[in-house]
């Protein structure tokens, strides 16, 4: 069955709502859970479903993402599996870059023509979930569907943030509306399970996960050359045309990493006793780059904290924290509700001497710091006695070394906060 499908993962646009994490990288390249990148999630879902012919379509700020894909996903010479990059390219026939999700796939069709496949799975590169795509494919085949869209039941409060699909009792999608206002939701409820109905989750939100029968995809994209986006143009057109579009309801954990608060909540949620996103399920392994790092060395007080490889944490207190690879934390610091992304490398003695000569602290977090409700991007150097977000809620704003969004302080990648710095 896996030989019948090609997976296309969309590398994302500018990702402005996730700034400053997307200042120098695309959304799918943003680190998550201390040791992964967001793009590892859809790739891992595909590999766990034995769907191992995968293209990642990249364009914006793509160097970091391209490097991660190249260094991570290697298969046996005797396997037909691959994770390849399809970078946006200007050609004599098309001098433009990708103009949207549908346009990106359209421009790449000639690259996949030579493969044998019956179905195309199109995924976003910046969502957090664990789904068995084999079940979705089997559902698509059994229903005789032309397009199957993964949907998740949501309540009225959340419905305005999504594209909402209306279905009949057989699951056929009959209409679509983009981010409806609260007072317009009345007629947009759909049949859902008894459990979802009890929770008031009676509206079906598109998850941006599409499964197309091959010829239908080609016909839609080639027949609607002006359409650049799946959610706003191609899917609504298909619903109104003679195309069988079916809803595949998913009731598990799923979150769209659309903004800083959603990203922060998704990471801090991993520290719960029973997190909604399970990193410890061997049947749903999350794959990433294999790094030959030493084990973490800890002499700290920890409560509900996730720590990646290669960290050195001295006598500090951490609560509800995610600590990324190669993180160094000094003595007497108190850190709560914070995602520390870690470092790309260890500083050598020569590096430390150069940092001291500039008056910079070593990379990591120093002694006697207080940090709360924060995201610390990679390769930051935070001195002794630094205080971040420990007073009244800070107003939103973008500054030279940090950004504040929804009460969360994001320290920009590679920034230096000198001893005693206060945010």
Please say if the pLDDT value at position 225 is more than 90: no
Q: Write the pLDDT tens digit of every residue in 352-367.
A: 989 888 889 999 999 9
Does 205 score more than 80 pLDDT? Answer: yes
Contact at 8 Å (CB) between 373 and 339?
Answer: no
Taking 80 as the threshold, does the pLDDT of residue 92 lie above it? no
Q: Which domain CATH number covers 54? A: 3.90.550.10
Instruction: Verify that 203 and 317 share a domain, yes or no.
Output: no
Residue 154: pLDDT over 70: yes
- Confidence check: pLDDT of 53 > 60: yes
- Give residue-wise pLDDT tens across range 16-48: 889 999 998 989 999 999 999 999 999 999 999
Q: Is 55 helix (H, G, I), strand (E, B) or coil?
A: strand
> Distance (Å, rounded) from C-alpha 318 to C-alpha 337?
9
As a whole-number percent, the residues of the chain with pLDDT over 70 amount to 98
288 part of a folded domain: no
405 shares a domain with 342: yes
Give Rg (Cα) of the chain. 23
**Rounded to the nearest 5°, which phi and psi values hold at 31?**
-65, 145
Please check whether residues 329 and 413 belong to one and the same domain. Answer: yes
Are 188 and 136 contained in the same domain? yes
Give yes or no: residues 221 and 89 share one domain. Answer: yes
**For residue 373, which of 325, 404, 408, 399 has the smallest C-alpha distance?**
408
Quote the strand ranges of 14-52, DSSP E: 31-32, 36-37
Kindly tell me the burial class for residue 401, based on how many C-beta atoms sit within 10 Å of its own C-beta (0-12, 13-18, 19 or more): middle
Residue 259 shares a structural domain with residue 298: no
Helix (H) or strand (E) segment spanning residue 338: strand 334-340
Q: What is the mean pLDDT of residues 308-315?
A: 96
Pick from 348, 376, 344: nearest CA to 362? 348
Residue 231 DSSP symbol: I
Q: Is the pLDDT of residue 2 over 70?
A: no
The answer to whether the CB of 360 falls within 8 A of the CB of 337 is no
Residue ending a domain, choose from 270, 302, 334: 270
Question: Could you count the other beta carbons within 10 Å of the beta carbon of residue 195?
Answer: 10
Which domain covers residue 54, as residue numbers? 2-270
> Residue 299: which CATH number?
2.160.10.10
Chain CA centroid to CA 192, Å: 26
How many domains does the chain divide into? Answer: 2
CA–chain centroid gap for 111, Å, is 25
Whether 131 is covered by a domain: the verdict is yes
Query: pTM higher than 0.85 for the full model?
Result: yes
């Amino acid at each position: 069955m896996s030989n019948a499908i090609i997976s296309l993962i969309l590398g994302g646009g500018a990702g402005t709502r996730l700034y400053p994490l997307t200042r120098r990288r695309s959304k799918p390249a943003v680190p998550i859970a201390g040791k992964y990148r967001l793009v590892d999630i859809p790739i891992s879902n595909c590999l766990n479903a034995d769907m191992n012919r995968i293209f990642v379509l990249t364009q914006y700020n793509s160097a970091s993402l391209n490097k991660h894909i190249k260094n991570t996903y290697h298969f046996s010479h005797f396997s037909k599996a691959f994770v390849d990059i399809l970078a946006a390219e200007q050609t004599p026939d098309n001098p433009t870059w990708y103009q949207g999700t549908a346009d990106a796939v359209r421009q790449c069709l000639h690259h996949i023509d030579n493969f044998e496949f019956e179905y195309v799975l199109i995924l976003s590169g910046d969502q957090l979930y664990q789904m068995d795509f084999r079940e979705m494919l089997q559902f698509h085949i059994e229903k005789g569907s032309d397009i199957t869209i993964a949907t998740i039941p949501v309540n009225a409060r959340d419905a305005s943030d999504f594209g909402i699909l209306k279905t009949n009792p057989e699951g056929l999608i009959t209409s679509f509306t983009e981010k409806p206002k609260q007072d317009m939701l009345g007629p947009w409820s759909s049949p859902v399970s008894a459990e979802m109905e009890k929770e008031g989750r009676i509206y079906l939100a598109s998850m941006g996960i599409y499964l197309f029968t091959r010829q239908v995809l080609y016909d839609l994209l080639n027949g609607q050359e002006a359409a650049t986006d799946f959610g706003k143009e191609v899917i609504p057109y298909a619903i109104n045309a003679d195309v069988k579009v079916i809803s595949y309801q998913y009731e598990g954990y799923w979150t769209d990493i659309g903004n800083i608060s959603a990203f922060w909540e998704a990471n801090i949620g991993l520290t719960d006793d029973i997190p909604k996103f399970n990193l410890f399920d061997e049947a749903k392994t999350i794959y990433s780059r294999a790094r030959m790092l030493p084990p973490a060395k800890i002499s700290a007080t920890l409560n509900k904290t996730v720590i990646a490889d290669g960290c050195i944490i001295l006598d500090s207190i951490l609560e509800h924290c995610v600590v990324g690879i190669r993180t160094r934390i000094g003595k007497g610091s108190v850190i709560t509700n914070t995602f520390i992304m870690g470092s790309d490398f260890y500083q050598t003695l020569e590096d430390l001497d150069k940092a001291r000569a500039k008056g910079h602290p070593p990379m990591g977090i120093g002694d006697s710091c207080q940090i709360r409700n924060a995201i610390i991007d990679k390769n930051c150097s935070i001195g002794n006695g630094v205080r971040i977000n420990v007073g009244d809620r800070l107003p939103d704003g973008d500054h030279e070394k940090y950004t504040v969004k929804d009460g969360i302080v994001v320290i920009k990648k590679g920034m230096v906060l000198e001893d005693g710095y206060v945010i």
